[in-house]
Amino acid sequence: MREHDFGRRLTQELSTPQTDSQRHLEAMVQVSRALGTIMDMGQLIPAILKQVTHTFCADRSSLFLYDSENDQLCAQVAEGLDEQRTMELRLPADQGIVGQVFQTHENRLIADTWKDPHFAKRVAKATGYVPRSMMVCPVFHGIHNVTGVIQVLHSDSDHFHETDMGLLEAIAVQIAISLENAQLYEKQKRQFSSFVRAFSTALDARDPSTQEHSLNVANLAQGIGYHLGLDFHVLDRLRVAGLLHDVGKIGTPEAILKKPSKLDPDEFAIMKEHAAYSLQILSQIEFADEYKDLAMIASLHHEKLDGSGYPFGHTADALNIETRILAVADIYHAMTQDRVYRNGMPMAKAFDIINDMTPHQLDGDCVRALKQFLGYPNQLAA
């Protein structure tokens, strides 16, 4: 054998494993980068399937999660299915190839599904897609518990190889970590939301005449934000700010909160202090990044664009869109809500007053959006 032929063959033998390892490393970096920052479960699962499908040049992928209540494996998304035919796939946890992998905790690399007795032909018929080759891998929660199964499909037989199976197994670990983080994040969000609702309800209960005021302000603020085209994260921040905007009333004397007649100037001056108290109280809470500036937003709901509001007398330049929305939502609901010393105004009368305050005190875009949300004729004075 010639020396250069031997050298070329040796180079090929040495470079092939390295090339596979490098490809796997690059794939893992891409998957980790794509999934590492996604905490919302609704966004995470489609991202997982997109990355897995792309990595293996597959037709589609499915992530089955275990539903312990019904003892089923459920795939909420199947990458590659016609978007007009999106469906939820539910399989008994002990049937089919997916069920087998879930039960045994062992990977399956199937060169030809037509020759496998566990292949669920009825599922293929239901989706309108018949795979010929398949990789299926358990997704572990902890060491021994399986939380789901990742399935990768292609219409050609022998499309996947053992090296692909090893890579999928490594990716499944990353999927498990991402799912666990997202589930923990969702649990924390639910806990936070329940705390905010309970705190808001307790505060409103101090003044029977304003019960559910905070909830209504939160709903109105979200409705305004929706019609202004704000994204989900801003709408969620508006909801929380609306629920907590009157937290400062915890420092207002009950005699003032429950007075059955209109407040005199001195009493009203004390009542106005609740906005500053809201800032003081909420500033002590370490909110997550998505609720950054929540304390300031919630405490400025009585500010006006011309500087005539309180507690700081800020003008338009210092009031962002969320603060402006909350101001409109709060004043509208305060005017239309029944109080001990007066009945709530009809919608038309409330908007007459709001129109007179716009645009020098209230934001015109926010007022128009509120009218859209409530279905009120949008005839705003210039």
Is-catalytic flag, 249? yes
**131 touches 157 (CB < 8 A):** no
HEC readout, the chain:
CCHHHHHHHHHHHHHHHHHHHHHHHHHHHHHHHHHCCCCCHHHHHHHHHHHHHHHCCCCEEEEEEEECCCCEEEECCECCCCHHHCCCEEEECCCHHHHHHHHHCCCEEECCHHHCCCCCHHHHHHHCCCCCEEEEEEEEECCCEEEEEEEEEECCCCCCCHHHHHHHHHHHHHHHHHHHHHHHHHHHHHHHHHHHHHHHHHHHHCCHHHCCHHHHHHHHHHHHHHHCCCCHHHHHHHHHHHHHCCHHHHHCCHHHHCCCCCCCHHHHHHHHHHHHHHHHHHCCCCCCHHHCCHHHHHHCCCCCCECCCCCCCCEHHHCCHHHHHHHHHHHHHHHHCCECCECCCCHHHHHHHHHHCCCCCCCHHHHHHHHHHHCCCCCCCC
Q: Burial letters for 103-126: b for 16+ Cβ neighbours within 10 Å, e otherwise?
A: eeeeebbbeebeeeeebbeebeee
Catalytic residue of the set 249, 262, 304, 349: 249
Catalytic residue numbers read 249
